[in-house]
Every structure is written in C-alpha cells, then in structure tokens.
Amino acid sequence: MEVIIRPTAAAAADLVATLIDRAVRQRPDLVLGLATGRTMEAVYALLAERHRTQGLDFSGCRTFNLDEYVGLPPGDPNAYRYYMERHLFGRINIDRRRTHLPDGMAADLDAACAAYEQAIADAGGIDFQLLGIGHDGHIGFNEPLSALRSRTRVKALTPQTVAANAPLFDPPTRMPRRAITMGVGTILDSRRCVLLATGASKADILARAVEGPITAMVSASALQLHPRCTIVVDEAAAAHLQGRDYYRFIFDNEPEWKAFH
C-alpha cells in the first residue's frame, strides 16, 4: 500500500484521473472497475474533459461498477447506472454493451450476483479498480463485518450509510436498504486498485483503514492485503495519518511520482 497526499481535493482527483488516463493509454482494452459517490464526480469530470480535449479513447475499455441499489431500475435518477450515464458514460466514447453494473432489479438476485462474478472472470479480471471509502469504512457497499473473502452479493446497508445517502433521494425514505456489491474478495482480486478519499469527514476512518489493524469491522483495511494499492488523499483526509511525513517523502523522492510534481 502507498499513500499519496495532495494539497487539495481537486489536486487529488487530478492525480487519480491521470493514473486512469495512463492506464487506458497503455492498455486500450483495459478492464476498469468503477465507483460512484460524490468523491468520484470530480474524477469523471476530468476524464470526460480529457476525452474531449486530449483524445482519451475509451472505445476498447470494459467497465464493471462496484455496486447498485436493489429495486431501482437503471433509469431511476438515484440508480448507479443513471449516475454513471450522467457523469461518465454519456460524456465519453464507451460502448454501453461493454459497461456493466449489478442488476438490482433481477428476480433472482443471487443468480444475478453469480452472473456478475462470471462476467468479471470472462473479461479476464479487473485491471484497475477505482474505490471510494464510506464513513463506516465500506468499499463498494461492503459494510462492517463483510467477510474479507466475500464475493458479489446482496448486502444490507448500515444506518450510517443510509444517513449519508438518503438526502440524495426524494423523499429520503425512498432510499433502498439493500444493494448488490462486489465482495471484498472480488476487489482484492483486481490487479491494481486506487482509493480516493477527500475531506475532513474521511480523516478518522481513513487512518483506521490504512494504519489500523486489518479487520472485517473496517472493510477498507483489507486493502492492506492488496499487492498494488494506492491511496490518494487530500490534506484534510490525511489529517489523522501518523505516517504523513514518510508518505510525503516517498511522493517527493520516488521516480514514479516525479511527473506529478
């Protein structure tokens, strides 16, 4: 695991967009794992901008989103399919048949989860997984006590997650209480993962995930087991990290990061 601290949320999102940009240019048939949420909006805006002005080409990519609410059709303004269309897919040149989200409307949800795992395997696995982190430490919707080896399945959301996301629904009580999410094990199988966290409200949970013990109580702490995981944060989200000076030293001195200075 490596931690990169940028001065602002905008600079952190820019660095993540650049990592994705490079990965897509290096491998035009990249299999991208995608996240939703407020934090990612800045990243997708930058990717759309790079597509428009710098020829960033997504036509060969395939995408798999981490999660989708149970019971919301794709056209619902709160569905993650709708979010992706609005923030990214509708603004870049990606073939919709190559974009995948779990089917929260399936009559047989367990079968839909198994089919999602199979589709990821058939694509050859996820090359680059983008992640955010919830205030309860979730990645995807892997709420506390998610098994560290869990696969795609239906998960009940915590009151904390409902409180964080319900204001986005009209009325807030319309928010589903369950979602389909890739498992922690599914995420750990990705070849590279990048977690973006910004803002002071993420500082406490981020420190627990990065520097605390690996525990199913904080799903993001499982990323300590990932062979190639980069955590990108702004100063506000980095505030509770004990190793800040060391992380800054790495960013300032490792050749890999020179181009970002």
CB of 76 to ligand F6R, least distance (A): 15
Residue facing ligand F6R at closest CB distance: 132
Q: Which residue number, 140 or 176, has a Cβ lying nearer to ligand F6R? A: 140
Site for ligand F6R, residues 114 to 133, rule: CB under 6 A: 132-133
Residue 39 touches ligand F6R, criterion: CB under 6 A: yes
User: Contacting ligand F6R (CB under 6 A), which of 6, 33, 37, 157?
Assistant: 37
Q: DSSP states of the chain as a string?
A: -EEEEESSHHHHHHHHHHHHHHHHHH-TT-EEEE--SHHHHHHHHHHHHHHHHH----TT-EEEESEEETT--TTSTTSHHHHHHHHTGGGTT--GGGEE---TT-SSHHHHHHHHHHHHHHTTS-SEEEE---TT--STT--TT--TT--SEEEEPPHHHHHHHGGGSSSGGGS-SEEEE--HHHHHTSSEEEEEE-SGGGHHHHHHHHHS--BTTBGGGGGGG-SSEEEEEEHHHHTT-TTHHHHHHHHHH-HHHHTT-
User: Contacting ligand F6R (CB under 6 A), which of 33, 134, 176, 183?
Assistant: 134
Q: Which residue has the tokens 């040149």?
A: 93
- By CB under 6 A, the count of residues binding ligand F6R is 13
Residue 38 touches ligand F6R, criterion: CB under 6 A: yes
CB of 68 to ligand F6R, least distance (A): 8
Residue 16 touches ligand F6R, criterion: CB under 6 A: no
Residue 36 touches ligand F6R, criterion: CB under 6 A: yes
Q: Which residue number, 58 or 129, has a Cβ lying nearer to ligand F6R? A: 129
- Cα separation values, 152 from 130, 176, 209, 239, Å: 16, 18, 21, 33
Residue 139 touches ligand F6R, criterion: CB under 6 A: yes
143 is catalytic: yes
Q: Which residue number, 36 or 152, has a Cβ lying nearer to ligand F6R? A: 36
Contact at 8 Å (CB) between 13 and 57?
Answer: no
Residue 152 touches ligand F6R, criterion: CB under 6 A: no
User: How does strand 99-100 pair with strand 2-6?
Assistant: unpaired
Residue 176 touches ligand F6R, criterion: CB under 6 A: no
Residue 67 touches ligand F6R, criterion: CB under 6 A: yes
The residue range among 13-21, 84-92, 104-112, 137-145 that interacts with ligand F6R, by the rule CB under 6 A, is: 137-145
Q: Which residue number, 9 or 109, has a Cβ lying nearer to ligand F6R? A: 9
240 is catalytic: no
14 is catalytic: no
226 is catalytic: no
Rg of the chain (C-alpha set): 17
Binding site for ligand F6R (CB under 6 A): 35-39, 66-67, 132-134, 138-140
Which residues have a catalytic role annotated? 67, 136, 138, 143
